[in-house]
Structure 1
Amino acid sequence: MDLPSQIRTALTTTHSLPPPSTAWLQALLSSQRHPPPPLPTLVATARARLLAADLTTPGLLDPAAAAPSSCLPAVAPSVAEARLPRDAVVQVLDVENLARSRWDQVEELEAIERGEQTRGREVVRLPPPGSEEGEDDDRGGAAPTQQQQPRGPAAAATAAAATTTGAGSAGKPAGKNATHRVVLQDCKGQKVFGLELRRLDRFGVGETVIGEKIVLKAGTVVARGVVLLEPATCKLLGGKVEAWQKSWVEGRLARLREAVGADRR
């Protein structure tokens, strides 16, 4: 078996990723030093690049193998319940916590925008990123000023702080009773809603990043066109599309404000 085939086999069987095209693998190998590094290193490099890529990019995946084996079958909204006949790899385009009102989320993000984070019953005012005060604090200087204040609408600001700054994880994960809705896209560009039926680890606003890859295992339930997510049939692979994450973070507050205005009308 040649080297591209070995890498493709490892990616699909060990890491549950869709098969990349031969041209993409050859381009990857040509960018490596000569002689090439060991196979495990090449597989790790290919995996990292696939996780950071848009699955719909032309030439990225093997069209003969990826479409039938790694993409979602068409399920009409009129179908009450269906199950996926095979594993499918999708990427996250949007995530929302349905357990919290949109207005609460707006106030949370506005608090973060003002440089506030909530810790217990303390509101911690943080300097703007890149300021000298922030640099002094990182070196062990004066701590940010703190003001006692009752818990208010911004009480979960820490949970969204990492997302707002473009980080991949939040300081405070979503509660055990949270329910998240995501927009998922497969390698053919087909988009579907996913609904968290049971809580998933590392899942939610501030933890799930845009472009993250997810394996929907065979047997996953699709009800009325909505994919029902639960730990037994859903595997998070990681990854992030940097440009998507940045755009989503910057536009999230505007989208929530618009939605709140529409709800009030």
Structure 2
Amino acid sequence: MNQALQIRSALASEQLPAPGQAWLQTLVAQQPAQQRTMPALVAAAKARLLASDLATPGLFDTASPPPVFPRELLGPSSASLQETRLTHDVVAQVVDLENLSQSRWQQVQALEAIERGEQKRGREIIRVPAGGYGGGGDGDDDDDETDAGTANGRPAARTASTGTSDASATHRLVLQDAEGQTLFALELARIYRIGIGRLRMGEKLLLKTGTVVARGTLLLEPASVKFLGGQVEPLHKTWVEGRLARLRSEAMAAGPRV
């Protein structure tokens, strides 16, 4: 088995989509000779994949693309489909996120705190690295539901919520598959890992077989989604700047702060 096939097999064992042969061969060639051990190559491929836009041309082989959203869930007709379920696993990336439980002004304050490099937990302001944003890890965060002082070994300061009443918040996401197709997703039950200050744009999620889809919207529960980590920095930067500008405009149009 050549190196590219071994790397693909290792990534698949972690439920990550397998990049194309050409992409992997280029990655191997770019690594210093002393770092071409299989563990090092797998780690490099995983990090590069999680930082890549899934819709990037050439990332996957056209002959064996990763599973994507079913066609019947896309387009205007999907709204008439009362309820169905995913028949296969789909890896998608986050391209938009909104806390539906917060007012526009609260969302502005949350994003401004992130821009300043600080987040809020309760009444305590926690400093994080400039540009820091919780999440963006490179592994599953199922254990985050414990809401303990750390999350998968990361300091709580990096995953602290910026909003109020986080335990009862409801978030709406826009998820994009490897073909660039998007679907709305809504928390059916609270998932601690989802939140402004935790997810970054471009972070990869595994939507598991059996995930409920109602009226063209994925309904997310803790058991139906696995967080694979990663981020796409250009997507995230554009999202923060654009969303903050839109929220400020909408908040001003709605009137003074309450």
Over 3 Å counting, the alpha-carbon distance change for 1:195 and 1:25 in structure 2 is: same
1:23 corresponds to which letter in structure 2?
Answer: A
Equivalence for 1:17: 16
Alignment partner, residue 69 of structure 2: 72
CA distance in structure 2 between the aligned counterparts of 1:56 and 1:29, rounded to whole angstroms: 21
Separation in 2, partners of 1:29, 1:110: 40
Correspondence 1:104 to 2:84: no
Query: Superposed, which structure 2 residues align to 1:219-258 within 5 Å?
Result: 219-258=210-249
Instruction: Identify the match of residue 250 of structure 2 among 250, 259, 263.
Output: 259
Per-residue deviation, residues 200-235 of structure 1 (Å, max 9, x unmatched): 232210100011000001111111110111111100
Q: What residue is the counterpart of 2:132 in the other structure?
A: 167
Amino acid at match of 1:72: F
**Quick one: structure 1 residues 171 and 25, their matched pair in 2 at CA, closer, same or farther if it must change by over 3 Å?**
closer
> How far is the alpha carbon of 1:111 from its aligned partner?
7.1
Q: What is the percent sequence identity of the aligned residues?
A: 53
Q: RMSD over aligned Cα, in angstroms?
A: 2.6
Residues 120/43 of structure 1: CA separation in 2 closer, same or farther (3 Å cut):
closer
Structure 2's unaligned 5+ residue stretches are 135-157
* 1:82 corresponds to: 84
Task: Check 1:113–1:72 CA distance in 2 against 1; reply closer, same or farther (3 A cut).
Answer: closer
TM-score by length of 2: 0.77
1:154-233 equivalence runs, <5 A: 165-169=130-134, 170=158, 172-173=160-161, 175-233=166-224
> 1:93 touches 1:211 (CA, 8 Å); kept in 2?
yes
Q: State the alpha-carbon separation in 1 of the partners of residues 213 and 9 from structure 2.
A: 29
Q: Please state whether the residue corresponding to 1:58 is helix, strand or coil.
A: coil
Does the aligned pair in 2 maintain the 1:166–1:245 contact within 8 Å? no
Conserved in 1, the CA contact under 8 Å of 2:83 and 2:213? yes
Q: What is the identity, as a one-letter code, of the residue corresponding to 1:172?
A: A
C-alpha spacing 1:262/1:65, structure 2 compared with 1 (3 Å): farther
Please tell me whether the aligned partners of residues 197 and 230 of structure 1 are also in contact (alpha carbons under 8 angstroms).
Answer: yes
Counterpart of 2:31 in structure 1 is 32
Confirm whether residue 5 of structure 1 aligns to residue 19 of structure 2. Answer: no
Residue 47 of structure 2 aligns with which residue? 48
- Name whichever of 18-27 and 33-42 sits farther off: 33-42
Which residues of structure 1 form unaligned runs of 5+?
125-157
User: Residue 96 of structure 2 corresponds to which residue in structure 1?
Assistant: 94
The structure with the larger Rg is 1
Tell whether the 8 Å contact from 1:162 to 1:206 is kept in structure 2 after alignment: no
Check whether the contact 1:29–1:36 (CA below 8 A) recurs between aligned residues: no
